Structure 1
Amino acid sequence: MVAITRAALARQLSSPYTTRTVASSTVSKKYTKKKKRTVKQRTSSSTISLPLQSYNEIAGKSNITDANGYDRYGNPTGREYDLGRDGAFMGFHILIAQFYSDAQFNDAAMQLPIDQLKSKGFQVTHVKTEDACITELASNYYQIAWIISTNQIQNSKFITALTAFHSTGGAIFLFADNTPYVCHASEFLRTKFGITLEGNYYGGKIMTFKENGHQQIGSFGEHQIFTGITNLFEGITICHPVYSTPTSREVFVTIATASDDNSSIAVYDPSPTSTEGRLCLDCGWTKLYVNWDSAGTARYIVNASCWLLGIS
């Protein structure tokens, strides 16, 4: 792990700006229904060219009353209301490990978030097997890994590989859904914090921004991840974290509470001196494909990815 300041963010770009997809067999689910810090950067062979200001001026502000326009959910329209500036993340790499797939959650569906990430400058690799994910995690090529859980872990080395990635500066976006489609995220959190994921709550509602509303039913509070969002879809089938100790609840912090009064989105933000990367947990990954166009989803997903880098 190498901690890199903005002045030191320089490497020789050696790979093209592409999205790679590795196909595999998948498990099918029957669907019925602002602090300053350095960038924790694992060694890679690419150039990272970070502009003086990677975030938009409204970073951290959800309730925007003077926007040029609003969508049908009441969120402001326009890229200037995102957390990250377009093109500001050139040279940063995201690995998307999609372990769940079905007729709806296919490559075409995943292309929607991939395209949004690319608009910010991210380079994206998309894999569908644990073996491919383990290989990519060990490459020192990625700053962020998305882990989209399914109902079983097939490779016993997976959690070890993911934990090593995180402990050496890799940031992780954990996606879970209803039980049993929580395995990868739940096992990592159990290993790291003593937290497990469970539940099959049928949500489908929209959470709203409230000042200091992190733990209020159906609400979310102030956080850079929610920049430009006053209304956010909670997902359809939703799990929730189960905390084994008070300490785990304090360290892995709820920033949004679903309509069942359980944590829906939670984050881990290590100290600036830590070698670990940031973490974000989303408990309803249906928003990635079934409701990508619903309230605030696209902006939230990309905002969270920008935040995970630890740039301010």
Structure 2
Amino acid sequence: MVAITRATLARQLSSSNTTRTTRTIVSSAIRKKYTKKKKRTVKQRTSSKKRTVKQRTSSSTTSPPLQQYNEVAGKSNIIDANEYDRYGNPTGREYDLGRDGAFMGFNILIGQFYSFDMQKPIDALKIKGFQVKHITTEDECITELASNLYQIAWIISSTQIRNSKFISALTAFHSAGGAIFLFADNTPYVCHVSEFLRTKFGITVEGNYYGGKTMTYKENGYLQAGNFGQHEIFTGITNLYEGITI
């Protein structure tokens, strides 16, 4: 019994040692394999970092933003243009104040309450990059002014204000930083403009005088009737028709 027990124990020990050896070999192989995977992972991460640095370097060398104004900005008397119109003003959009496409991201709301064809001005604004919303009622204008979508509002005045909330909506837009471009003709087509100016600044617009003349550029021309002086808004304009009425 003892002999059998010892023999059995010896076989068990031998079997146990073999199992341990096998486990050790397998464990060692697994550790080596895992270590190799870790090395590859580190290498991959290093490559990823290199790619990220390279991408960041590439993005930092982008071209500067487009300049908004043409080189002739502020010049009325342009003597070297290729061609001039019948009024003596240089032709070609390179003689405009703003560059083509330079105003992407700027939105203009046009509230036109006096009827005439606005398509050409709208097309010209779009060439410069502006997004334009054109509306013809005060109700629409009030809604759009409150939308926070526009940096600029054009208001083309008519003879009466139909919605009592219009002036307060326009005033709120202006007080929040919105720019306003006001258009008024002769009395009585001054209502929207005059009422806004009265509410905001305490001044009014009125008058109905015959014009029909052409104003001309002159240095310090603002000091004399019939002339205008140097200013960015007159870029590329030597002669300016004042309109039938003032």
Higher relative contact order (Cα pairs below 8 Å, separated by 6+ residues): 1
In structure 1, how many angstroms separate the alpha carbons of the residues matched to 2:91 and 2:65?
24
1:146 aligns with 2:154: yes
In structure 2, how many angstroms separate the alpha carbons of the residues matched to 1:133 and 1:216?
38
1:129 aligns with 2:137: yes
Aligned to 1:208: 216
Aligned to 1:219: 227
In structure 2, how many angstroms separate the alpha carbons of the residues matched to 1:225 and 1:154?
32
1:98 aligns with 2:112: yes
Give me the TM-score of the superposition, normalised by structure 2.
0.72
Per the TM alignment, residue 81 of structure 1 is displaced from its structure 2 partner at its CA by 0.6
Amino acid in the other structure paired with 1:83 = L
Q: 1:171 to 1:91 in 2, by over 3 A?
A: same
Q: 1:179 to 1:215 in 2, by over 3 A?
A: farther
2:198 partner SS: helix
Amino acid in the other structure paired with 2:239 = N
Aligned to 1:54: 68
Residue 66 of structure 2 contacts residue 102 of structure 2 at CA under 8 Å; is this kept in 1? no
Per the TM alignment, residue 164 of structure 1 is displaced from its structure 2 partner at its CA by 1.0
Number of residue pairs matched?
A: 183
In structure 2, how many angstroms separate the alpha carbons of the residues matched to 1:158 and 1:214?
34
Residue 220 of structure 2 contacts residue 229 of structure 2 at CA under 8 Å; is this kept in 1? yes
Contiguous gaps of at least 5 residues in structure 1? 1-49, 239-312
Q: Which runs of 4+ in 1 moved over 3 A?
A: none
Per the TM alignment, residue 115 of structure 1 is displaced from its structure 2 partner at its CA by 0.5
Alpha-carbon RMSD = 1.2
Per the TM alignment, residue 215 of structure 1 is displaced from its structure 2 partner at its CA by 4.0
In structure 2, how many angstroms separate the alpha carbons of the residues matched to 1:218 and 1:190?
28
In structure 1, how many angstroms separate the alpha carbons of the residues matched to 2:66 and 2:126?
19
Larger Rg: 2
Tell me which of 54, 58, 80 is aligned to 1:66.
Answer: 80
Give me the TM-score of the superposition, normalised by structure 1.
0.57
In structure 1, how many angstroms separate the alpha carbons of the residues matched to 2:70 and 2:96?
7
Aligned to 1:287: none
Q: Deviations over 1:69-110 (max 9, x none)?
A: 111100011111100000111121111101112xxx1xxx21
Residue identity over aligned pairs, in percent, reads: 83
Amino acid in the other structure paired with 1:148 = I
Higher strand share: 1
In structure 1, how many angstroms separate the alpha carbons of the residues matched to 2:229 and 2:85?
20
In structure 2, how many angstroms separate the alpha carbons of the residues matched to 1:178 and 1:126?
23
In structure 1, how many angstroms separate the alpha carbons of the residues matched to 2:174 and 2:154?
12
Amino acid in the other structure paired with 1:143 = Q
Tell me which of 90, 99, 122 is aligned to 1:85.
Answer: 99
Alignment of 1:271-286 (within 5 A): none
In structure 2, how many angstroms separate the alpha carbons of the residues matched to 1:195 and 1:222?
26
Aligned to 1:191: 199
2:78 partner SS: coil
Amino acid in the other structure paired with 2:145 = L
Amino acid in the other structure paired with 1:95 = L
In structure 1, how many angstroms separate the alpha carbons of the residues matched to 2:91 and 2:127?
15
